[in-house]
Amino acid sequence: MNFFERQHAARGTTVRLVLLFTLAVLTIVVAIDLVVLFLVRGNTASGIAGALIAATVVTLLLIGGGTLTKMIALRAGGAAVAQSVGAVPIDATTSDPVLRRFVNVVEEMSIASGVPVPRLFVLEQEEGINAFAAGYTPSDAAIAATAGALRQLNRDELQGVIGHEFSHVLNGDMRLNVRLIGLLNGILLLGLVGLRVLAFGGGGGGGGRDSKRDGNPVLVIALALLVLGFIGQFFAALIKAAVSRQREWLADASAVQFTRQSAGLVGALKKIAGLPAGSALQDRHGERQVSHMLFGEGTRSVSRFWATHPPLLERIAVLEPGFDAVQAAQLGQSYAADGPDGMAEDAALGLVGTSAPAPVDAVVRVEPRDTGNRVATFSPDDLERGRVISDSIAPQFRQLAGQPSTAVPLVLALLLDPDRRVREQQLQIITSRMGRADAVAAAGFVDLVAGLPPIHRLPVASLAVPVVVARPPGRLNALVGTLDAMAAADATITLFEYCLTRLVAGYVRDSLEPAKRSRPGRVAMTQVPEATLTLLAVVAAAGNADPSVAEHAFTASVQHLMPGQSVDYAPPPDCAAALDGGWEALDSLDPRAKQQLVEALVLAVRDDGVVTVAEAELLRATCGLLHCPLPALLT
């Protein structure tokens, strides 16, 4: 399945998850009621009914309260999940070679796939090799890796692991995984309550032997909660396993597809198989919360039935047929004598230092029929193109984009006009809305930004996204308003100004309301004809100065969506205002309708056989606003 088909299928997965959760809750309630019924069997009918009602209400309150509390806590998205398990943020400008390599690998994949750079975290106390991706949308995504993974994997192996996690980012797995944490927290809370009562109250009713002989009420409660806790843990593990294993196979396959080599991924899996720590996490509470999100099993499962991941040796054998337990044991002996050092392996493999980027096509010609297979994924050529773009961005831009004090001024500076009069007006806007410090900093970047190649402008903004969206909501809303006012300062909004302002606004909204903004749409194309035709007309006009050529592109794209229908080509006089009125409607389209729309957009862009910078920027911005990330089309 491609991205759009997976989004469509995700609804069924979500329904099954809710049904499993409901079944688990009902089973727990029935089990607790049976225990209570046994304990109060000698009471009157009204006493039994009261006890059963009380037990049911308390159980549902515990589950509902635990679920609701966790979901509210996770509203902040991927960063909240990473921090909840003790992960520490990584400074994007770090000079630590191990962390710098991690940052570089993620940035290359982000640029290649057309998504904002995720926020990065490290689990500093974890020696096992593991990682996870969390969040609702790519704009609020976080990727965390253990210190053991960053230190022991070489670059190819780290790229394989991150490719696996990027599959979860691009395929929409993250949203399901975060919702799963929230749903299961209520069930897991029951288990914690049962264990705590048993541990701290089971033997201490205060009445000694006589109290126990007469029926210590604490022991009775502990027994009921112990049963409740056991059932809760059972169902939590069962549900996580049910939704996780198949997605891990898909992520492994995607990682190989992204990098066009299996050596990196299989090398990481072999190290997990051969090292004593494997992929285990020492933080048991954190592991229980994110076990279904991890690259490898966070703990040894008592049964394959409850395992959240396919068996490790089977994952390896798919990539390298013939690998077995004997070879894993031999690796273990080898690592016992000399543990792996990823950076040393990089040096031996010639992966350290800067090398000349491999030549790649400057322009990618995209066929509409292939677009569905390109959205929310990337090929090895795309990855190499991402590396070329990443490597060619001047170091000072990377430094500025990664620092809280300069990331926002840098984004603002991208909109500063070459005309001094207009620029002074824009700086006044920044001062009044954001403060003098941001205005002074942005003004200081004028000459630097003037030398930035056009094709690097949106990637530089993407590098700044994880730092920008970490600001308080009030500051983010002020930034969106400031960018809009700056773009309109000269009464004319260029195509680049429009793309940058709307993309940043989209990223901000995704970060502020990640759960709401990540829901797949259900609207049919026939319900939003005006917004659809307006978008096609603007895209056709953007890449063709000749109205007749633009009309030809528009007609071709319309025929793809509405075969046999005749529609007049009438681009709106105010493109920005016309487009702004349609984004929400277009983003609410059913995934399969979105695929048709994106294919029609590609048809309009490549109608004349050339992809210009303006067209590439508009197409990627449009796909970004529709939550359909598209790989880079130009270097």
Select from 479, 337, 330 the least CA-distant residue to 415.
Answer: 479
Please say if 287 is a catalytic residue: no
Q: How far is residue 14's CA from residue 596's CA, in Å, rounded to a whole number?
A: 24
Q: How far is residue 31's CA from residue 231's CA, in Å, rounded to a whole number?
A: 8
Token digits of residue 332 = 């273990």
The residue behind tokens 């809710």 is 18
Q: Is the four-CA dihedral 108, 111, 114, 118 of positive or negative sign?
A: positive
Select from 368, 362, 371 the least CA-distant residue to 604.
Answer: 368
Q: How far is residue 333's CA from residue 268's CA, in Å, rounded to a whole number?
A: 17
Q: How far is residue 289's CA from residue 182's CA, in Å, rounded to a whole number?
A: 9
Contact 505, 578 (CB under 8 A): no
Q: How many residues would you count in the chain? A: 635
Q: Which residues contact 394 (CB under 8 A, 6 or more apart)?
A: 452
Q: How far is residue 298's CA from residue 292's CA, in Å, rounded to a whole number?
A: 9
Q: How far is residue 591's CA from residue 524's CA, in Å, rounded to a whole number?
A: 9
The strands making up 119-123's β-sheet, listed across from edge to edge, are 88-89, 119-123, 142-146, 131-134
86: which DSSP letter?
A: T
Token digits of residue 562 = 């509405």
Q: Which residues contact 107 (CB under 8 A, 6 or more apart)?
A: 117, 390, 463
Catalytic residue among 107, 127, 157, 165: 165
Active centre residues (catalytic)? 165
